[in-house]
Chains A and B, each alone.
Chain A
């Protein structure tokens, strides 16, 4: 160390720092970057597709493993199929019977609450009362105005039995 140790130390530190963090990358270029980025690009959709397939398969498997309701269980616990709306008959007594009426697929009002009563129901099962559904428009039928159907006369030649040979009959 000479008369100015601070400066010498500073220079030594600067030299070392420059050697540690100096230089340029040798293998990086715009073309190589673009090539690498384009090459890796399809990997993401493949992952997404694989994940989607896995989720769908898992959902199907879970749905199949779900236990079916026991036979004879009230239909009120199951969802009605499309086109079949549960409908309580106006004259029906407050019993467990529920009629299903096949209707056209009209828009169904969902604003009426479904009431569930458990008191007094047989065997402790909940009794489901479903409010009646108002159709949006009364069903009307009217005669169809149409032109009379004309059927052209068809002439049919009389059947002659004698024209058949006996050999053909035996066959």
Chain B
């Protein structure tokens, strides 16, 4: 089904073709996963959100009218799910007072990929990214995932495309500045 367009796949899936839905999942699960990962920065949670996203899409595929791209529609579902997940996580951490105090940086501490960072330079960069304000960090990570253009990210976040561009620029500038100051 490589040559079939997303619109055609949606139409087939809406008519009950399971193979068409499977192709939708295969085609977009990476983008959905990376959108969730941008918000949660934890692979296990992102995998759960990806699963939930496609379950929601499977149920609500009849409501998809093609007003936005299928990938954007799926990513928006994933983003909303991730925000719910993030809020629940904060609430859980709020209740468990013995958890580490770094509420804004939880996923880094538990992320197994942290151990794969070879150099201390990478660790410093990553720490500075985690210290960014949430709206800047979210936008920077979404843009860095490379699955969505600025217009789609703007549609997903409910902001203007110019806002996305400026956030990405500002986020990178803040990380660079912090790293330069740390290197002195």
Contacts and interface: CB of A to CB of B under 8 A. Distances in A.
Contacts of A17: 129, 140-141, 144
Interface string B103-120: 000000000010011000
A24 B122 contact: no
Nearest to A25: B33
Contacts of B141: 17, 20-21
Interface stretch (B35-43, B81-89, B157-165): B35-43
A33 to B, nearest CB: 4
A9 B51 contact: no
Contacts of A12: 121-122, 125, 179
A24, A26, A33 interface centre (most CB from chain B within 10 Å): A33
A13 B33 contact: no
SS class of chain B's interface: helix, strand, loop or mixed? helix
Contacts of B22: 29-31, 34
Given A18-B144, A33-B54, A28 B33 contact: yes
A25 B46 contact: yes
A5 B116 CA distance: 24
Given A13-B175, A40-B55, A23 B18 contact: no
B55 A37 contact: yes
Most B CB atoms within 10 A — which of A13, A18, A32? A13
Scoring A17, A32, A36, A37 by chain B CB atoms within 10 A of each residue's CB, the highest score goes to A17
Interface of B: 18, 21-26, 29-30, 32-34, 37-38, 41, 43, 46-47, 50-51, 54-55, 58-59, 113, 116-117, 121-122, 125-126, 129, 140-142, 144-145, 172, 175-176, 179-180, 183
B55 A24 contact: no
Contacts of A6: 176
A6 B125 CA distance: 13
Nearest to A17: B144
A13 B37 contact: no
B128 to A, nearest CB: 9
A24 B29 contact: yes
Q: Give the secondary structure class of A's interface.
A: helix
Interface residues of A, number: 31
B27 to A, nearest CB: 10
Given A26-B47, A30-B25, A20 B58 contact: no
Contacts of A28: 25, 29, 33, 47, 50-51, 54
B176 A9 contact: yes
A141 interface: no
Nearest to B176: A9
Contacts of B125: 12-13, 15-16
A20 B143 CA distance: 12
Contact of B144 (A14, A26, A33, A37): A14
Contacts of A9: 176, 179-180
A68 B149 CA distance: 70
Contacts of B54: 28, 30, 33
Given A20-B129, A20-B141, A33 B46 contact: no
Interface in A101-120: none
